[in-house]
A and B are shown apart, each in its own frame.
Chain A
């Protein structure tokens, strides 16, 4: 898995968009960018993933730069329930079960 760098913590106002950055300058051409989150002491939850195109689903949007060296996870209208640790993982599309989790970003959504 390529190394990723995320800020340790971020705050966001409720109802505003939360933009979580991730740097992955050593990403290989066949590696995807995956995002997971872990709400306090629960199991991690898959959010979204992409290879090079921007992706959107019911939870979030993923913006990947053209050179693929960084990406941003966007929660369009953050709620208090989005307070969690967000993990950015870069890896190939196989052997998903053996992901390497870093320290992630602790997002705190404030009223």
Chain B
């Protein structure tokens, strides 16, 4: 199974600033996925990042707020821009791995963000 790491593991930021979260996978993957988990809530998909093309955003999420980079097949970044307290969440990176019995999804440990 894919091993995913994220940096930073947690951060406390001031409103109006931006934070870039890094995601590293131990194998080459075509797509990487970014999720958000607000306090007490379930996971919500933010966007899908393909290497060599622009990310695809889900409804309610825009590139200006959550710019994503995907420079190669093992790495991606998510930036949370112009942060407000409502952006306080856990941000999770995820990949999918194919198999004979369907694909499986793996997640990184998450980045816990608190915006003051």
Contacts and interface: CB of A to CB of B under 8 A. Distances in A.
Instruction: Pick from A41, A45, A97 the residue with the most CB of B within 10 Å.
Output: A97
A1 to B, nearest CB: 11
Main SS at interface, chain B: strand
A99 interface: yes
Given A42-B109, A42-B110, A43-B110, A96 B43 contact: no
Contacts of A21: none
Among the interface residues B94, B95, B108, which one has the most CB atoms of the partner chain A within 10 A?
A: B94
B43 A101 contact: yes
Interface in B90-116: 90, 92, 94-97, 101-110, 112
Interface string B21-56: 000000000011100000000111100100000000
A49 B102 CA distance: 9
Given A51-B102, A98-B33, A101-B42, 16 more contacts: A32-B101, A34-B104, A36-B105, A43-B4, A44-B43, A44-B105, A44-B107, A49-B104, A92-B102, A93-B103, A94-B103, A97-B32, A97-B95, A101-B43, A102-B42, A104-B42
Interface of A: 32, 34, 36, 41-46, 49-51, 87, 92-104
Interface of B: 1, 4, 31-33, 42-45, 48, 90, 92, 94-97, 101-110, 112
